[in-house]
Amino acid sequence: MSVVFGGLMLGQVLPRVISGALTSFTSWRNVYWAALGLQFLLLGLLWLFFPDYPSNNANSSTSPVQLLWRVVRLAFTEPILAYGCIVSLLSNAAMSSFWTTLTALLASDPFGFSSLQIGLFSLTAIDPVVLVPLYSSFVVEHVATYLAASIALICGIAGVAVGTFTGTFSLVGLVFQALAIDFGVDSTSIAYRSAIYDAVPRGGE
């Protein structure tokens, strides 16, 4: 699961670099046209190559409404799911706030980065692709979920603290925050997802 999650993170990092390059050499509107074309390309690839597995519950009479209600019920019957949702919501809000406002910070003084440089800075967030699977193998699988999640959250909080006090004038502080917050948030998500899958392997059936 951590490898798949790392691939998803890579899918978030690379578009930042590509969009920065497109904005530097062409109109910023071309970013949207490129995104539209890639979406249609992805749709075509999925249509052609995605395997058509038979349903595991072909004879099930469960309606879509019942499935949605089951999700709501799990939030009250499985505490680990509720904790994981709350922690993931707050930690991802912190990470999204950082990356959303980072563009304006890097483009202003004292950094004055171009769109291409800002896009390349996003490569600092590639560390979860390598580190999160290692953290999952050596920590998440061998300690309690709360301990694994707490260690990861402390890393993220440390990154936010360093970036808050040094990020306005030091590029090193921003790099450290990018590394720490991405690793912390992604590792926390992996820890809780593993625990949720163990507690509810078939979605509460």
pLDDT in tens, 36-83: 999 999 999 999 988 776 666 656 667 778 888 888 888 888 888 888
In a domain, 58, yes or no: no
Ordered alpha helix ranges (H), the chain = 2-25, 29-49, 64-77, 79-107, 115-121, 127-135, 145-166, 171-199
Q: What is the sign of the dihedral through the CA atoms of 86, 138, 147 and 142?
A: positive
In a domain, 55, yes or no: no
Q: What is the mean pLDDT of residues 149-170?
A: 93
In a domain, 158, yes or no: yes
CA distance 173 to 160: 9
Q: What is the sign of the dihedral through the CA atoms of 144, 147, 153 and 179?
A: negative
In a domain, 54, yes or no: no
- Nearest Cα to Cα of residue 184 among 143, 152, 157: 152
- Could you tell me if 98 and 1 are in contact, meaning their C-beta atoms sit under 8 angstroms apart? no
In a domain, 68, yes or no: yes
In a domain, 44, yes or no: yes
In a domain, 152, yes or no: yes
- Nearest Cα to Cα of residue 2 among 180, 135, 147: 135
Residue numbers of the domain that contains 45: 2-49+64-199
Q: What is the mean pLDDT of residues 19-30?
A: 88
Q: What is the pLDDT of residue 197?
A: 80
Please tell me the total count of domains within the chain.
1
Q: Does residue 166 surpass a pLDDT of 80?
A: yes
**Mean of pLDDT over the chain:** 86
In a domain, 189, yes or no: yes
Q: Find the length of the chain.
A: 205
State the pTM of this model: 0.81
Query: Nearest 5°: phi and psi at 19?
Result: -65, -35
pLDDT category at 1 given cuts 50, 70, 90 is low
Q: What is the pLDDT of residue 32?
A: 93
Vertex 25 angle, CA 20 and 27, to 5°:
85
